[in-house]
Amino acid sequence: MTVTPEYPVSVRTHTILFDLDGTLVDSTDAIVAHWTRFGHEHNIPPERILATSHGRRLIDTLLEHTPHLASDTIAYELESNLPKEFGDKCRTIQGAGELLQRLDKIFPGDRRWGIVTSGTYPLASQWLDMFGMPIPDVFITAEKVARGKPDPEGYLLGRTLLSADESVRKTIVFEDAPAGIRAGKAAGAVVIGIVSTHSKGEVLDAGADFVVTDLGDIEVVREGDSDEFVLRVLREA
């Protein structure tokens, strides 16, 4: 029997790792436009590509559908051009900028958050620059891991880079896609799912511990000079 938590819920943590697409920025329409054009150019039904592409590395999608094009050079080229061609279809997730600013404010000079994305550096950095969000020191992009989500490699690496002593550190992951949620859970994190690209049922089925509509449903506070901070999930999606 599943027990539904009572909101608001407070979770103590040391660090936070964010996915990017669908979590900090809503790039869904841009990515749909990209894969729709790609599918038409290569005689592949776009819906077939879109059924499994979200939350995964582009090169993994190429390997599945057009293996003869699956190279780092082509992946870089496609993702470098995506924001230039379809950036007008992208926007920020509600509350994202404010939450990042608050995290930096409560631990000045000691950034406690990072990003783990399936996008390449050219794509991810352009999205952040477009919306005035900082590129964190811990910025795990597709080319930094051998295995993409749902493998936990990226989140394990991000946690290690953020945590001086992993044995006592707690990490929260924010994700929207089932592949990323499974990766966060496999890395041992508490996962907060965002219903920006998938239904609440799909997010819960993937294993999310809590589900919110957007990042406006999240507060963070530091109690005194504690090394932890408290993340509050204000309401459920």
Catalytic residue IDs: 19, 21
3-class DSSP assignment, residue 207: coil
Contact in structure between 91 and 139 (CB atoms under 8 Å): no
Contact in structure between 218 and 18 (CB atoms under 8 Å): no
Query: Which residues on neighbouring strands pair with residue 172, listed in sequence order?
Result: 16, 190
Contact in structure between 25 and 92 (CB atoms under 8 Å): yes
Between the alpha carbon of residue 124 and those of residues 87, 188, 214, the distances in Å are: 12, 25, 19
Rounded CA gap, 153 and 178, in Å?
16
